[in-house]
Structure 1
Amino acid sequence: MISHNIYLDHNATTKLDGNVLEAMIPFFTEHYENPGSSHLAGLTVDEYIEEAFRQVADLIGCRTNEIIFTSGATESINLAIRGISHGERNHLVTLCTEHKAVLDTVKDHAEKSHLNCSILPVQNDGLADLDLLEQAITGKTLLVSVMLVNNETGTIQYIKEISELVHAKGAFLLCDATQAVGKIPVNVQELGIDLMAFSAHKFYGPKGIGALYVSKDVKKYLSSQITGGGQQKNRRSGTLNVPGIIGMAKACEIAKESMDHHAAYVKNLRDRLENRLLAIDGTSVNGSLRHRIFNTTNVVFKNVFSEQLIMALQHISVSSGSACSSATTEPSHVLKGLGLNDEDALCSIRFSLGKDNTKEEIDVVVRRISELVAQFR
């Protein structure tokens, strides 16, 4: 019998890896100096920061000078969307299933800066319609923003093909890779990404630290949105979050070493969970079954509202969508974008698994959900 909490909400955040915490602690106590200081202690910390740049860059296949450390993916997305400019180009393109960090920023920036924006529908499986996307991109398009892995359904977009369409029109590609980096191989060179946002806390690193990849060819078109001290070569001012950066770098190092093993293990658990949940009458999976990340499944429980089910599950942590909008009772914009009606969207639950989950936990979850669904119906 399992007595502890069961956590199946890893797309919201993950538990800090013990090795990451161990790497961070000396930078709260022993190496607490400011890396911007010119004394020996400060220069020593700066050397650790340079190594951290290397470890993060190594995970995503870029150069160290193409990384900007931020407070997280949301800030990275804001820097990319608000900071990019190129001649007379005044058109932004994105998909209706993007995270609110992209959608709200695109809408706000377009309104305040008098830009045009196109928010495109997706296919019923959550994948972008490449023909529609190609038609939407014009000679005036500045930036196209498409996420690599959807945070609610796990759908993986065809980013390489999308980048080819974007670059054929001379535009830039921003990729929100928050749910991908540290979980699956991501190489910005191979995928043709110009700007990419990601956060450490999605792959067992600390909260409050993230990064924006900016390709060498795009750097000159990006303006800083935080000015003051000139840190990070004037691209993002502010005293560096040293413990956070060290922690993110360690999480990147661990992810590179253990990614394949964790993916295989977690996929088996996800499939076990999904197959058993689908044995319950009136259930189905939202989004693509073929093109999705290994740890996520989003399931409709017909005629059972997810909010009611989540509350009844008590010590089993699951979600009805993005953690950023979980306080609302509105149907998920992602699921609506896939064509679900309001009721089915409000009866859907996202399960996102992690490396510490077990078969025993999965069996407990299935048994409890089966009981509750029968009870509520």
Structure 2
Amino acid sequence: MSVFWLALGAFAIGTEAFVIAGLLPAIAADVQISAAAAGQLVTAYALTYAIGSPVLAVMLNNIDRRTVLTLALSVFIVGNLLATVAWDFPVLLASRIVMALGAGLCMPTAIGVSVAVASPERRGRAVALVTSGITVATVIGVPFGNVVGSLLGWRATFAMVALLGLIALAGLAFGLPRGLPRSTANLAERLAVARHRAVLAALVITILWAVGGFTVFTYLAIPLHQQLGFDASGVSLALFAFGSAAAIGNMTGGLMADRIGATSTAALGLAGMASALILQSFVLKYVAPDQAGHLVLLLIFLWGISGWAFYPPQIASIIHINPQASAIALSLNASAMYLGFAIGGATGGLVLSTASPTDLGWVGGTSVAMALAVHLFRSRRERLNPYKIAG
């Protein structure tokens, strides 16, 4: 039962991390800043997560996991509550940083705890249940949070997330045992893995993939509003389409990786994502708005499927580099993903400031195409000269 509360915490974190895309226009209007400036709420969150997660994991390595989870969720809840009363942009930015510190500490700890509390034959399912909290958040939490924000104001969405976090915290307080294993890697071990060229190549691919996705996703509501005339319900529909596609893509990517191999599946996912993003810009620029709406929704759906079909084989390839160091490498990959999200948020803001919302797809698609190029180069090199960390 404690794994359920871990999954609920992940659901709250996933909802908060992705719902901001739909709320961005309302936040920008309310605190009287540009959409590009509001997008830096995403950059600040993702950059704090990328840096804070491994640093906090090392700093709190010797503290009971139950205590760490309680601290992490409490900080996350406080950040959301601060957002509900934020009176200006600096305070709202600070609240996002606080949320990210809590989230960045909570997620890897929750995954580790799920393994510790489950029996050996159920550990895979326990991890899957916790991580499914993020997936379900993209399908249900994000569109619902956007509807709540449109009806009651964007601050209500943060209040909703805080409530979800509080329920998860209460469940863990009563359902999680003390004395759980403390197996977080130290800083030297993390650096040793990060220096290996196979891991570095994988991290570069993850960063470029994440940059491409969040260059567009962060500001997705802007072209939907301005170019296509979507209202709040239309944006919620687009977010639901993306979340549903991401869930389908995540499952499909895992199945395809087993059937045709991780390398081919990841390449197909990156190629499909790059194409969908580039075509999105093309449709927004050159197709009449009354016809473009359905095409853009279709491309968002294809982007979600292909983009998240890339992720399971990418994880599988990272584990394959050296299974003994996989936990550390996957932790670094999570930080790389959020670093990419941060760069994507900043890049999208730059595009909005210097060009047009319709140009976001070109830029995002180019970044994903670069990820594909690195992936193909890395795959070719590994075929010619296989290597592992231990070697």
Do they superpose with TM above 0.5? no
TMscore range, shorter length: under 0.3
Normalized against structure 2, the TM-score is what? 0.25
User: When you count strand as a share of all residues, which structure comes out higher?
Assistant: 1
Structure (1/2) with the larger helix percentage: 2
Q: Bigger radius of gyration, 1 or 2?
A: 1
| TM-score computed with the length of structure 1 as normaliser | 0.26
Which structure is higher in RCO with an 8 Å CA cutoff and minimum separation 6?
2
